[in-house]
Amino acid sequence: MGLLVVGSLGLDTVETPFDRVENALGGSAVYISISAGYFSGPIYMVGVVGDDFPKNYMKVLENHNVDLDGLQIVKGGKTFRWSGKYHYDLNVRDTLLTELNVFESFNPVIPDKYKKSKFVCLGNIDPTLQIKVLDQMDSPNFVVCDTMNYWIEGKRDDLLKLLKRVNVLIINDSEARLLAHEPNLIKAAKQIIELGPEYLIIKKGEHGALLFANDTIFSAPAYPLEMIYDPTGAGDTFAGGFIGYLHKTQDLSSENMKKAVVYGSALASFCVEKFSTKALEDLNYLRVHDRYREFLDLSKFDE
Amino acid sequence: MGLLVVGSLGLDTVETPFDRVENALGGSAVYISISAGYFSGPIYMVGVVGDDFPKNYMKVLENHNVDLDGLQIVKGGKTFRWSGKYHYDLNVRDTLLTELNVFESFNPVIPDKYKKSKFVCLGNIDPTLQIKVLDQMDSPNFVVCDTMNYWIEGKRDDLLKLLKRVNVLIINDSEARLLAHEPNLIKAAKQIIELGPEYLIIKKGEHGALLFANDTIFSAPAYPLEMIYDPTGAGDTFAGGFIGYLHKTQDLSSENMKKAVVYGSALASFCVEKFSTKALEDLNYLRVHDRYREFLDLSKFDE
């Protein structure tokens, strides 16, 4: 049974202190799908593009276990475009342009063959749409969801409704603080768990990630990268690796959830090594597993 | 054989959003010594105070395995005073007052019985004085040293001379970036290792700590604290726990160094739970070891 992924597809123009790319393959659904595709397939991707979306980008997705039957192609429409510029400190970026285009009226329609999926990954889109996706599913038993400051502030009520229906919420540290109105991250996490999700993952970029459940906290290290070319998509790639590993192993225990966090971190550490999806495109399971082992070495100490 | 600790002793007035203390026991030598004293003794502490330094603070030190024969008490002199105010985000603090007093002309004189110490912890003081300490020692075989932005910028040449004589440098992330003139922390660490120290520890506060050697990187998690009352002294407490554990075990292997980083982190996690040295004062080895086990649970994942 495929893994359902819903999110954005876009053409990204990204500038960093090192280089610049134009109209590169991007969007949350893209990063999640390619990343998850290294673990298991098919990936049932639902999203929307215009008919300007390059054919070779379709090929990249197909080559990574992504089924495109759920991709809406709007005739005469323009694909979502985003442009950003990273500073020398790559944690800081300016958004130069956001053209929603066909994404503005995106209405996720789940094809019948996708509805039986048991694993669902809701990329960062309007929580109203995320709910609409869940309403169309037969009986998913594992739902992972991402969101952002924009929805936490602007669509709080819908987001709170959604959180009662998801198993794992993945957000970053500033989003967690905003969602809980609490500066202490550990307190914030406990409050968010009360809102519905069984698990909360807080991404901290170069400082790793934290996994919270009712009775557990797990701290995953960050991979020590000497060169980060382009942080775009790292968070989505993390989510894809996380759910992809769980979908492959079909084991939803806490211990396996921790492994999934490290696999997500491993995929994200590859993502930032080149522009756009380039570094993700030519991975293989062996390289992913080797990096997993490096995370083990990095964080292991004796009793 | 005792563990030599050199650094400041002071009277701290600290304000946080939660409370305020006046003229509390403080200073790098104090935090390092009390922390190290939980592992082994005696702690040979070298520092200076005025005769206004409260007798009960002497008692606190003596009760924690600290030998005071190396403590200079300047008649008619005033003890070093520091005052700071922490913001709601406890990572941000303003220094309200620094009165060096007797610390301004501190000349560390190592008593004869201390000179044979094999383990030396140089708290954050002028690198010229840190060198002076080493010059008085017979043949220390393990030297740990702390420093800060002020010396990195103002006494760079002396600091570079010192680094060739230390085994472990402990600094925070911004100090590492400044010392190496390199924004990427991993690159910065590699460059600092080239300057002399076998090991570099980078403290990242609420994000844990990194241990670097030529061929190893180890990432220690931070303890998930829901309440931080007073971050003052956490870094010194870390250093004390680190060297105290190594002094106790007399094992300088990489694997034991990793354990020492976690013991240092454990001690630091207690330190911030109350004002000044209060939380450190009534620990015992069992509680320290229990917290060490919590660090294990926090970061462990399966192969």
Structure-token pair, residue B232: 């003052």
- Is B208 within 8 Å of A204 when comparing Cβ atoms? no
d(CA A302, CA A293): 16
- Is A224 within 8 Å of B217 when comparing Cβ atoms? yes
d(CA B177, CA B175): 5
pLDDT in tens, chain A (303 residues): 899 999 999 999 999 988 899 999 999 999 999 999 999 889 999 999 999 999 999 999 999 999 999 999 999 999 999 999 998 777 788 999 999 999 999 999 999 999 999 999 999 999 999 999 999 999 999 999 999 999 999 999 999 999 999 999 999 999 999 999 998 999 999 999 999 999 999 999 999 999 999 889 999 999 999 988 899 999 999 999 999 999 999 999 999 999 999 999 999 999 999 999 999 998 998 999 999 999 999 999 999
Closest CA of chain B from A299, distance in Å: 5
- Tell me how far the alpha carbon of residue B88 is from its chain's centroid: 24
CA distances from A228 to A86, A172, A220, A225, A275 (A): 11, 19, 19, 7, 9
Residues of chain A with C-beta less than 8 angstroms from the C-beta of B222: 219
- Is B207 within 8 Å of A210 when comparing Cβ atoms? no
- Is A224 within 8 Å of B221 when comparing Cβ atoms? no
Closest CA of chain B from A96, distance in Å: 24
Residues of chain A with C-beta less than 8 angstroms from the C-beta of B257: none
The string of pLDDT tens digits covering residues B90-115 is 778 899 999 999 999 999 999 999 99
A277 with A270: CB under 8 angstroms?
no
Q: What is the pTM of this model?
A: 0.95
d(CA B282, CA B287): 10
- The residue in chain A having the minimum alpha-carbon distance to the alpha carbon of residue B291 is A303
Nearest Cα residue to A72 out of A109, A41, A43: A109
End-to-end CA distance of chain B: 41
Cβ-proximal residues to B175 (8 Å cutoff; 6+ apart), any chain: B147, B148, B149, B152
Structure-token pair, residue B136: 């008085």
- Is B218 within 8 Å of A301 when comparing Cβ atoms? yes
d(CA A242, CA B236): 37
| Facing residue for B262 by CB, picked from A186, A210, A301 | A301
| Facing residue for B302 by CB, picked from A207, A217, A259 | A259
Q: Chain B interface residues facing chain A, Cβ-Cβ under 8 Å? A: 88-89, 183-187, 190, 204, 206-208, 210, 217-222, 224-228, 255, 258-259, 261-262, 293, 296, 298-303
Which letter does DSSP use for residue B206 in this model? G
B179 with B235: CB under 8 angstroms?
no
